[in-house]
Amino acid sequence: MQGGDAIIRLWHVAQSRSFRVLWVLEEIGAAYDLIPCSFFDRSLRDVDHLQRSPAGRVPAIEVDGQSLCESGAILLYLAESRAPHLRVPEGAAGRAVFLQGLHYAETLGAHLANLTQHHIVLREDWMRSPTVMRLEAARLENALRAIGPDWVSGDFTVADIAIGYAVSMARRFVTLPDDAAQYAKRCAARPAFQRALAKDGAAQIYTQDFYAPPEG
C-alpha cells in the first residue's frame, strides 16, 4: 500500500540494498511512500538527505518519527515493531541462527560491493584489477555454499530478506551453487518479492545479466 498519509517514507535506488527494505514493507503490508533516487545526480548529496543518511546512501527511511539508514537495522526494527513473525525473538530457539543469517548477508554484500566497484563503477579497464575481480568472484561463490535450500532459521524471516537480496544480486557475477539457486527460487516465488520487484524501478546499476570475471 502507498498513500500521502503514510507513516513510512523510503528513499530508494533501483537494484540497490534499499530493495531489502522495499521487500520487507511489502511482506508486512505497511503503508509507505516510495521516493525514487539516483546515484547519478546530486540528490543523495543534498543536505536534507545527508541528515537522513550521513554517508549519502540508500536506504534511508523515516518511520515512527525517526530516521534510519542501515538496512539490516531497518529490517530488524520493522520486524520488531510491526511483524514479529518475521524474526526470532530473544531467548527463543533459533535466535542465534537468525542473527547469524541476518549478519552473514553483510559478508555476501562485501564481495558484491567489490565486484560491483570493479565491473561497473570503475569504467576504464586500466582502473580495474583482474586479479581482484577473479578473487572476489571465487570468494563470493564459496560464501554462497552456506546458503539454502531452506530458510535460515526454519520459518521465513528478515534474515532471509537480507540474504535473499544478496543471492539475487550474486547471480550477476557467479553461477549459484545448487542449494543457493533453489533458495533464490523460493525467494523469487514470494508474492511480496514480486510486488517489490515491480516497484523497484528501471535498472540503474546492473545493465547486464552477467558480469564474467576476466580470464586469467
Distances (CA, A) of 56 to 14, 38, 45, 46, 112: 15, 11, 6, 8, 19
Report residue 111 as a C-alpha cell.
Answer: 564481495
Using an 8 Å Cβ cutoff, are 39 and 56 in contact?
Answer: no
The single residue listed with the C-alpha cell 518519527 is 65
The pLDDT value given to residue 4: 39
C-alpha distances in Å from residue 143, one per residue of 93, 113, 151: 25, 14, 16
155 by DSSP, 3-state: which? Answer: strand
Tell whether pTM > 0.85.
yes
Q: What pLDDT does residue 216 have?
A: 75
Domain ranges of the chain: 8-86, 95-199
Please tell us whether the domain made up of 8-86 is placed in CATH 3.40.30.10: yes
> What CATH number has the domain spanning 95-199?
1.20.1050.10
pLDDT for res 1: 37
User: What does the pLDDT profile of the chain (216 residues) look like in tens digits?
Assistant: 343 345 899 999 999 999 999 999 999 999 999 999 998 888 899 999 999 999 999 999 999 999 999 999 999 999 999 999 999 999 999 999 999 999 999 999 999 999 999 999 998 999 999 999 999 999 999 999 999 999 999 999 999 999 999 999 999 999 999 999 999 999 999 999 999 999 999 999 999 999 999 987
Q: Rounded to whole angstroms, how far apart are CA atoms 67 and 168?
A: 27
Cell numbers for 85, please give them. Answer: 513473525
In angstroms, rounded to a whole number, what is the distance separating the alpha carbons of residues 142 and 186? 21
